[in-house]
């Protein structure tokens, strides 16, 4: 693996003009606070740096993986053999009366604040969802029956050859917590959203109502977890059901493996009680999955993404 060679950081510095971190503890980059060491980590503070980092990693056959806020990712106990690129690109532009173009490293909170200040409405359902635009587009994040993909007009991606391409909404094949990026692994650089004009007070009220609704059923952001562990399944009858309802009925809330436990307030949240390993989380999740399959004949699909140490 070329990037493990000693001179990769030097090549990186020469090309990009900014240092890589070496032998990085990944615990601080996932909200689970779990993970081993990565050989290299780079914080890209602009889209240009993000693109250059990807191109350089490809050029030197260095496995790489892009992360945003780390609110939906479980790192391996063995860390990551290669380069983790943390996206901190923060540009945001009001491009026309109702359109906003956002760098993928902008957080959903920053995006909402920008929209509120310009009296642009539509994205209030994102209030309280942690993470970046890139992570949200990748997984089509959503709440209250809405998702980010419905508001996306077009986006700039980095294709397999390291070239920028512009695609429209239909390219993403958005579905429930799904976008085509889960198959292609292309990076989101920028996204444009179409919104509607509305008064600030009205927007603020919607944000507050959504935050209040979330406070009642979700754990606080300080809990070391990565949101709902499983997607909500469709029953054999065709009815969609909350995974938490099934999990609750199989006694999930009393289960734990090592340092990983199910949150008492919501059966679909696995959290790190302190010192949990990725293995603990995966074993607990598989126990939960087995129980639900046995009792209801439903196979739960995970929403949280596990990144193995060696990329496949
Ligand atoms: C308390 C809590 C509540 C939550 N509630 C919700 C909720 O209501 N609805 C919901 O949908 N989610 C929810 N989540 C999950 C999480 O907030 C979302 O999945 C969010 O979109 C993750 O964004 P991120 O930047 O942290 O992504 P990361 O965790 O950093 O990465 C997730 C995936 O996105 C990919 N990715 C990141 N950036 C890019 C990019 N620029 N280009 C391509 N791929 C990229 C990564 O490679 C990875 O595969 C919750 C999480 C927590 C902790």
CA of 107 to the centre of ligand 1 (A): 10
Rounded distance between C-alpha atoms, residue 267 and residue 264, angstroms: 7
Q: Which of 5-14, 49-58, 144-153, 167-176 has the lowest mean pLDDT?
A: 5-14
In terms of domains, do 138 and 241 share one? no
Residue 143 has a CB neighbour count (10 Å cut-off) of: 17
CA of 304 to the centre of ligand 1 (A): 8
- 181-191 confidence digits (pLDDT tens): 999 989 999 99
Closest residue by CA, ligand 1 atom 21: 136
**Containing structural domain, residue 232:** 220-312
Residue of 45, 91, 131 with the most ligand 1 atoms within 8 Å of its CB, for mutation: 131
In terms of domains, do 307 and 224 share one? yes
- 1-30 confidence digits (pLDDT tens): 555 567 899 999 999 999 999 999 999 999
Closest residue by CA, ligand 1 atom 49: 305
In terms of domains, do 119 and 205 share one? yes
- 242-301 confidence digits (pLDDT tens): 999 999 999 999 999 999 999 999 999 999 999 999 999 999 999 999 999 999 999 999
In terms of domains, do 224 and 157 share one? no
What is residue 133's predicted lDDT score, i.e. its pLDDT?
A: 98
Rounded distance between C-alpha atoms, residue 90 and residue 47, angstroms: 8
What is residue 238's predicted lDDT score, i.e. its pLDDT?
A: 85
* Final residue in a domain of this structure, among 189, 217, 245: 217
In terms of domains, do 201 and 282 share one? no
For the stretch 97-117, what's the b/e string if a residue is b when 16 or more beta carbons lie within 10 angstroms of its beta carbon? ebebbbbbbbbbbebbebbbe
What is residue 125's predicted lDDT score, i.e. its pLDDT?
A: 98
Instruction: State the average pLDDT for the chain.
Output: 96
Which protein residues are within 6 Å of ligand 1, measured from CB?
31, 65-73, 87, 104, 129-132, 134-136, 138-139, 141-143, 181, 187-188, 218-219, 221, 225-227, 305
What is residue 237's predicted lDDT score, i.e. its pLDDT?
A: 84
Active site residues per annotation? 177, 228, 303
Residue 156 and residue 89 in contact, taking contact as beta carbons nearer than 8 Å: no
CA of 62 to the centre of ligand 1 (A): 24
* Final residue in a domain of this structure, among 29, 61, 87: 87
Most confident of 150-154, 216-220, 238-242: 150-154
In terms of domains, do 207 and 259 share one? no
Residue 224 has pLDDT above 80, yes or no: yes
Residue 39 has pLDDT above 80, yes or no: yes
CA of 70 to the centre of ligand 1 (A): 7
Closest residue by CA, ligand 1 atom 36: 135
In sequence order, the 6+-apart residues with CB closer than 8 A to the CB of 206 are 121, 124, 127
What is residue 236's predicted lDDT score, i.e. its pLDDT?
A: 79
In terms of domains, do 83 and 98 share one? no
Mean pLDDT score, 153-180: 97
Mean pLDDT score, 109-113: 98
Give the chain's radius of gyration (CA, Å): 20
In terms of domains, do 59 and 102 share one? no
In terms of domains, do 186 and 224 share one? no
Strand 305-307 vs strand 73-75: parallel, antiparallel, or unpaired? parallel
CATH number at residue 144: 3.30.465.10
* Final residue in a domain of this structure, among 66, 87, 108: 87
In terms of domains, do 245 and 289 share one? yes
Which ligand 1 atom sits closest to the C-alpha of 105? 41
In sequence order, the 6+-apart residues with CB closer than 8 A to the CB of 208 are none
In terms of domains, do 260 and 309 share one? yes
Closest residue by CA, ligand 1 atom 37: 135
CATH number at residue 286: 3.90.78.10
What is residue 57's predicted lDDT score, i.e. its pLDDT?
A: 95
In terms of domains, do 129 and 108 share one? yes
Domain count, the chain: 3
């Amino acid at each position: 693996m070329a990037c493990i060679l000693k001179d990769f950081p030097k090549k990186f510095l020469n090309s990009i003009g900014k240092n890589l971190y070496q032998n990085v503890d990944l615990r601080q980059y996932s909200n689970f606070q779990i993970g081993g060491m990565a050989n290299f980590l780079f914080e890209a503070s602009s889209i240009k740096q993000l693109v250059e980092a990807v191109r350089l990693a490809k050029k030197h056959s260095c496995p790489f993986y892009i992360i945003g806020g780390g609110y939906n990712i479980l790192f391996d106990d063995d860390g990551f053999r290669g380069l983790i690129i943390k996206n901190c690109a923060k540009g945001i532009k009001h491009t026309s009366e109702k359109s906003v173009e956002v760098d993928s490293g902008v957080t959903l909170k920053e995006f909402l604040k920008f929209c509120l200040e310009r009296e642009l409405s539509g994205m209030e359902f994102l209030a309280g969802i942690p993470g970046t635009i890139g992570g949200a587009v990748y997984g089509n994040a959503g709440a209250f029956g809405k998702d980010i993909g419905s508001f996306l007009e077009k986006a700039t991606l980095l294709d397999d050859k390291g070239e920028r391409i512009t695609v429209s909404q239909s390219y993403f094949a958005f579905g429930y917590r799904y976008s085509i990026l889960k198959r292609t692994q292309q990076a989101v650089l920028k996204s444009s959203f179409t919104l509607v004009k509305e008064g600030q007070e009205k927007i603020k009220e919607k944000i507050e109502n959504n935050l209040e609704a979330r406070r009642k059923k979700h754990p606080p952001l300080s809990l070391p977890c990565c949101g709902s562990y499983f997607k909500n399944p469709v029953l054999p009858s065709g009815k969609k059901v909350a995974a938490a309802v099934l999990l609750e009925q199989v006694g999930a809330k009393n289960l734990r493996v090592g340092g990983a436990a199910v949150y008492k307030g919501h059966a679909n949240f696995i959290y790190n009680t302190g010192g949990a390993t990725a293995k603990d989380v995966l074993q607990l999740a598989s126990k939960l999955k087995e129980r639900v399959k046995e009792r209801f004949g439903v196979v739960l699909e995970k929403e949280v993404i596990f990144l193995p140490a060696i990329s496949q």
